Amino acid sequence: MKILKMIPRGNQVLVRPDDEESRVSESGLVKPSNIEQEQKAIGTVIAVGAEVKDIKKGDRVIYGVYAGDPINFEEVDYKFVEDKFILGFIK
């Protein structure tokens, strides 16, 4: 089996967006979606390009919902997002 790896170029950040399951509370209730939530997205950084300085693999980030280019790789959804469109971190 061949192992494939995606490596972002330049100032690109590879993010795996949170899925709908992350909107389910521990008690099983689905948190409602609203306009504010739809204007931003949250995900985990999978890899960063060589020009990216302050973002690292494993960071949880907030980015514009329309920022970046979606890609489906080995049946998993990812987004390539320029580092300038990363709005902040979740700690």
> pLDDT per residue over 4-16, tens digit each?
688 999 999 999 9
- Does a structural domain hold residue 41? yes
- Helix H, strand E, coil C: the string for 25-85 is CCCCCECCCCHHHHCEEEEEEEEECCCCCCCCCCCEEEEECCCCEEEEECCEEEEEEEHHH
Domain count, the chain: 1
- Does a structural domain hold residue 4? no
- Does a structural domain hold residue 80? yes
- Does a structural domain hold residue 2? no
- Does a structural domain hold residue 35? yes
Distance CA 14, CA 2 (A): 21
CATH number of the domain that residue 30 is part of: 2.30.33.40
> pLDDT per residue over 79-89, tens digit each?
999 999 999 99
> pLDDT per residue over 19-69, tens digit each?
754 555 666 665 555 544 555 799 999 999 999 999 999 999 999 989 999
Instruction: Show the domain range for 31.
Output: 12-90
- Does a structural domain hold residue 37? yes
- Does a structural domain hold residue 6? no
